[in-house]
Amino acid sequence: MATPILTREPILTESPASVETIPDMLRILIADDHAVVREGLKKVLTEAFPDVVCEEVEDGPEALRSCERQAWDLLILDLSLPSMSGLDVLINLKESRRNIATLVLSIQPEVMYARRVFRLGAAGYLSKRSAPQELARAVRKILSGGRYVSPATAEELVAELAAGSDSLPHERLSDREFQIFCLIASGKSIKEVAQALSLSPKTISTYRNRVLQKMNMQSNAELTVYAVSCGLVGSYPEAGRHVKGEE
């Protein structure tokens, strides 16, 4: 069984071949709202990369401000952040054309989000339940210009392709539609979603209708049942500010 990332376990340092592709002074921004998680990540990173400099932020807006102030070699981004979700941070980074290598780290099911975060420009997706060595491997891979998913997630994605099946219904949604789908499925009313996203109720209703049509469903109850079955309920925190993009 894999040892979780937060477990204190020695990490092997890089081999000479891998060091050549990693900056001498590695700068990593950690965006996670739990102090114990941030400390665990720093422990793993400093053991694997002795010259690393880590900065911590607790929410999405803070992460964006830090990315505006200075350049980072890597952003480690929690998917479920307060005020602005990790997906919204990725959307903002993509729209502002900030080319920041990002590793999404989350407790959410990898296969449910891997394709979406990669479409938004992430370079890797990893479960918080992964072993410390896997985090170090993912960081090395990304800093070398590659992309990273766990072997298990890669197998699931390949299996889907081999079966010739279309994407899951929620994968057909745009980023804004997916955001609204998750909020409605978690029990938010049209008015509450509109307030959370700084959009009009009419606009939210229009998006809701698109979601129902694309997912071939008839009601909010169906959306909720589907979201629960896929482990999506509660995975998309309310947005505390307006997200640029589709209106």
Q: pLDDT tens, 95-132? A: 887 889 999 988 776 667 777 888 889 999 988 888 88
Residue 114 inside a domain? The answer is yes
Q: Say if residue 145 is in the same domain as residue 194.
A: no
Instruction: Tell me the per-residue pLDDT of 161-208, one tens digit each, with 9 for 90 and over.
Output: 665 555 678 888 888 888 899 889 888 899 999 888 888 999 999 999
pLDDT > 80? residue 42: yes
Domain count, the chain: 2
Residue 139 inside a domain? The answer is yes
Instruction: Share the mean pLDDT of the chain.
Output: 80
HSE at residue 155, side-chain half, CA atoms within 13 A, is 3
Residue 241 inside a domain? The answer is no
Contact (CB, 8 A) for 79 and 87: yes
Give the CA distances from residue 120 to residues 53, 79, 176, in Å, rounded to whole numbers and listed in that order: 26, 13, 12
Q: By residue range, what is the domain housing residue 211?
A: 169-229
- Please give the Cα distance from 214 to 223 (Å, whole number): 12
Reading the block at residue 157, the tokens are 């994605």
pLDDT > 90? residue 65: yes
Q: Say if residue 148 is in the same domain as residue 193.
A: no
pLDDT at 179: 83
Q: Say if residue 119 is in the same domain as residue 89.
A: yes
Alpha helices by DSSP H, listed for the chain, are: 16-19, 35-48, 60-69, 86-95, 110-119, 132-143, 151-163, 175-185, 190-197, 201-215, 220-229
Q: Residue for token digits 């996670």? A: 32
Contact (CB, 8 A) for 245 and 95: yes
Query: What's the DSSP call for residue 89?
Result: H
